[in-house]
Structure 1
Amino acid sequence: MMKKQLIMEKALELFAEKGFESTSIQQITEHCGISKGAFYLSFKSKDELILALIDYFMMKFTSDIDYVVKSTKNDEDLLYKFYYTIFNSFDKHADFAKILIKEQMRSFNEEFILKGRIYDQAMDTIILSMVERLYGDEIEQTKHDVMYCVKGFMKTYSELFLFYNLPLDLDLLAKSLVEKTNVLARHITIPFISTELIQLRQQPMTEEATKDQILEILEQNIDEIEESIEKESLILLKQQLVEPTLSPAIVKGLLENIRTHSHCKWVSYLLRNYFKIQ
């Protein structure tokens, strides 16, 4: 295991127990069995470590949800798979989810807040594309309200099993929320959240990643990964980004090769959007 990954995993254990503010670098290094010097070779500060943890989990979470929405062809299955994936991810990463929810409510760190908003807006885009696909013109005036109702379900129901230790039946929960979402989407008649309001809220954080930014992430991933089909796929995707020669079907296949690798989830998400791969 790379030292950076070890520090993140061990720090997460302490953060889950004590919270961000109450955990010191000294405690982290002792828990990892490393020196402070070794810590600072990986992270410049505790804040940088916290932001790296947020990136690590939120990139995986966002890219997994985006993949489910874009790859599910049957509309009748889409909402169920969306909710099932959401809560399955919360359940697998319960420690991090608890920390993030708690810290979001009391943090005054501007970079931490901004980072959360960026991923929140990425999730807005994914959910909005899903409800537009499912309900079409039927909810044109209320689609943003439906989007916020879906986000409300995600937050409220996740807290039930994260903080109250209620038993989690993923299948039943997903089916229940599919029914609730359908009822709301088809019966909401008074819109509150307008497109203009959404645009005001999103400024100035909605700029898509540029080609140069994606190239930088690709190069970093290529350096981190040992020889494998994922590495070969990353190299080909980098070439495609610089000089497009491959068909959309081949690009889609290359993205499938890297999609599940822990180091590649975010660049997979960025490339799917850049190449407009469904």
Structure 2
Amino acid sequence: MIKKQIIMDNALELFAKQGFEATSVQQITEKSGISKGAFYLSFKSKSELIISLIDHFMMQIVSDIDHVVKNESEEKLLYEFYYVIYTFFNKNANLAHLFVTEQTKTVNEPLIMKMRSYEKLIEKSIVQMINRLYKDMKDSITYDLMFCIKNFMGLYSEVILFSNNNKEIDFDLLIRSLVEKTNILAKEITIPFISEEDVIILEEKNTEEVTTPELIQLIDQSLKEIDDGVEKDSLQLLKQEIVEPNLHPAIIKGLIENIQKHKHWKWIAYLLSQYFEE
């Protein structure tokens, strides 16, 4: 396992038990079996480590949502959209719970800006999903429905995270309930409030997109960390395609699928998907 990932895994375990503030770098290094010097080679500070954990969490959920929206059939799309969100939150409950609780204790401007940039990517995917599913719906309703879906995501995730009973969550019931609610809203909303202009204003402070040189640099870094296998071969071919395009779109899609299957390289798959869409 990559050293940074080992540090992140051990830090998350300590954060879950003690909270961010109560956990020291010393405790993290002792649990990880490394020196402080080795820690600071990977992260400049504990704050940077926390940002990296949020990055790791959000990159996976953003890429999973994007993958479902682009590849699932329209018949199953809404169900699978909610399914990937709530099962992901449940699987990563420690980090999700920590982020929600710690966010109420302190104002962390870089963290807020970071989260907003990921939210914009999720909003983009939700709009794409709405356009696929509700072709007869008035365009003026799109952004109101997008924010309704976003609020469903947040509110019901908190129900999962902060539920006091120990009974197993019936995800199928939850998701079927939300599919029904979403379809009713899409059909019955008649008075729009949020316009495309409003959304553009909200996006003005959004982070810049990754440039082609930055994408190639990320690929090179990932190639150093991936063991030989289909993921590495696929990534090398995709890098070559960026430099000298000659592959059929279906082949490119298949190569990206290979990367997407590896949990640590979902973000690279997402960025490549965005790049080859342009």
TM-score normalised per structure 1: 0.94
- Give the equivalent residue in structure 2 for 1:89: 88
- Give the equivalent residue in structure 1 for 2:132: 133
Structure 1 portions without partners, runs of 5+: none
User: Alpha-carbon deviation of 1:263?
Assistant: 2.8
What secondary structure does 1:142 align onto?
helix
Tell me how far apart the structure 2 counterparts of residues 263 and 152 of structure 1 sit (CA, whole Å): 28
What secondary structure does 2:11 align onto?
helix
User: Alpha-carbon deviation of 1:137?
Assistant: 4.5
1:104 aligns with 2:110: no
User: Alpha-carbon deviation of 1:226?
Assistant: 1.5
Structure 2 portions without partners, runs of 5+: none
Amino acid at match of 1:171: D
Question: Is the 1:121–1:206 contact (alpha carbons within 8 Å) kept by the matching residues of 2?
Answer: no
**In the superposition, relative to structure 1, how do residues 195 and 106 fare at CA in structure 2: closer, same or farther (>3 Å)?**
farther
1:121 aligns with 2:120: yes
What secondary structure does 1:136 align onto?
coil
Amino acid at match of 2:62: T
Tell me how far apart the structure 2 counterparts of residues 156 and 45 of structure 1 sit (CA, whole Å): 32
Amino acid at match of 1:103: E
What secondary structure does 2:206 align onto?
coil
- Give the equivalent residue in structure 1 for 2:172: 171
Question: Is the 2:2–2:225 contact (alpha carbons within 8 Å) kept by the matching residues of 1?
Answer: no
- Give the equivalent residue in structure 2 for 1:266: 267
What secondary structure does 1:264 align onto?
helix
- For residues 7-56 of structure 1, the C-alpha deviation after alignment (integer angstroms, 9 at most, x for no partner) is 10010011122222222212222332332122112211101111111111
1:250 aligns with 2:251: yes
- Give the equivalent residue in structure 1 for 2:3: 3
- Give the equivalent residue in structure 1 for 2:53: 53
Question: CA RMSD for the aligned pairs?
Answer: 1.5
- For residues 165-188 of structure 1, the C-alpha deviation after alignment (integer angstroms, 9 at most, x for no partner) is 453111111111000001111111
TM-score normalised per structure 2: 0.94
User: Alpha-carbon deviation of 1:204?
Assistant: 2.7
User: Alpha-carbon deviation of 1:206?
Assistant: 4.9
Displacement over 6 Å in runs of 4+: none
- Number of equivalent positions: 276
1:19 aligns with 2:24: no
User: Alpha-carbon deviation of 1:109?
Assistant: 2.0
Amino acid at match of 1:93: N
What secondary structure does 1:141 align onto?
helix
Tell me how far apart the structure 2 counterparts of residues 62 and 104 of structure 1 sit (CA, whole Å): 20
Identity, % of aligned pairs?
54
- Give the equivalent residue in structure 2 for 1:149: 148
